[in-house]
Structure 1
Amino acid sequence: MTAANPSSEAVVAEATPYELVGGEAGVRRLAERFYTIMDEEPGASRIRAMHDRDLAPIKQLLFEFLSGWLGGPALYFERPEHRCIMSAHRPYPIGDAERDEWMTCMRRAMFDCDITGDMYALLDQAFLRMANAFKSRKPN
C-alpha cells in the first residue's frame, strides 16, 4: 500500500454464501420454501413421510443448520442438544429415491428463492454431496 493511495491495494473480503443468499432472511426463506415444497409435492412423499405432521420445528432446525453451514451464525451448533447431521439422518431409510426427492425440493427452493448462477451451482454440488452421504440403504 502506498501512502498516496492506501485503498489501491486493499484486500476486499469475499462475501460468504450466507451473505450471498440474503443473510438471515434469505436462509430462513430457503428453509421455509424447501419444506413447503416437500409438504405440497406428491413426488416428495417418501421424504415427507419421514417427518412429523408439524413441520415448524424442523424448518427452524434447517434454518439454523444452514445458517452456520453457509458461513453465518452457527445457530444449530450452539444448541446444547444439537446432533451430528449424519447421526440425525441415520435412522431413516435413505436411498437414491429419497436423495432425489430431497434434491428436487432443494433445487426448486433455491430457484424460487432467486439463488442462481454460480451460487446455485456451488450449493447444488454441496447439497448433492451431503444428500449422497446421508444414504443409508442400497438402491432397489
Structure 2
Amino acid sequence: MSEETTFFDEIGGEETFRRIVARFYEGVATDEVLRPLYPEEDLGPAEERFRLFLMQYWGGPTTYSERRGHPRLRMRHAPFPIGLEARDRWLHHFRAALDSVELTPEQDERFWAYVTHAATFMMNTRD
C-alpha cells in the first residue's frame, strides 16, 4: 500500500464498505440481543452512520465528522448496555459481513483486529 492509497481505497472504497455494513445490519435486524439496543424503528440511519464512520476511520471521506462531529464512541454508546453477549453477537454479525466481501487475508486480519478491539472497548456492563 503506497502512502497515497488508504485502506479505504485498497479494499474497494465506498462500495465495499456499503456491502459490509449492509450485511452486518441484516444480521442485527433479526438478532434478539442486539435489535433492542437500536431505538430507531428503521435501522437505515444507524446503518448510514456506521458506514460513514468506518469509511472515515479507514481513510475515506470525512462526511461522518462533518455531520456529527467527533465520533465520541464510548459516550454515544453509553446509554446502551453492552456486555459480553452483546459484544459477541455484534462480532458474529460483523464476521459474517467481512466474510461476504473479498478481502485478502491481510486486509481481513487488519479489519477484524480493529473491530474486535472496538467491540471490546464499547463494553460497559457485565452480563
TM-score (normalizing by structure 2): 0.89
Alpha-carbon distance between aligned partners in 2 of 1:80 and 1:46, rounded to the nearest angstrom: 27
Q: Secondary structure of the equivalent of 2:41?
A: coil
1:95 aligned residue: 83
Note the 1:23-38 alignment, pairs <5 A. Answer: 23-38=13-28
Q: Secondary structure of the equivalent of 2:37?
A: coil
Q: Kindly tell me: are residues 91 and 37 of structure 1, through their superposed partners in 2, closer, same or farther at Cα, counting changes over 3 Å? A: same
Unaligned runs of 5+ in 2: none
Provide, for residues 65-120 of structure 1, a one-character-per-residue CA deviation record: whole Å limited to 9, x for no partner.
01111111121111156651221111111011000000010110011122340111
Q: CA deviation at 1:47?
A: 1.1
Q: Secondary structure of the equivalent of 1:59?
A: helix
Equivalent of 2:37 in 31, 35, 50? 50
Q: Kindly tell me: are residues 116 and 100 of structure 1, through their superposed partners in 2, closer, same or farther at Cα, counting changes over 3 Å? A: farther
Q: Look at both structures and tell me which one has the larger radius of gyration over its CA atoms.
A: 1
Alpha-carbon distance between aligned partners in 2 of 1:34 and 1:116, rounded to the nearest angstrom: 19
Q: Kindly tell me: are residues 80 and 100 of structure 1, through their superposed partners in 2, closer, same or farther at Cα, counting changes over 3 Å? A: closer
Percent identity over paired residues: 28
Equivalent of 1:121 in 84, 109, 125? 109
1:111 aligned residue: 99
2:6 aligned residue: 16
Higher normalized contact order (CA 8 Å, seq sep 6+, divided by chain length): 2
CA RMSD of aligned residues (A): 1.7
**Which contiguous aligned blocks of 4+ residues in structure 1 show a shift greater than 4 angstroms?**
80-83
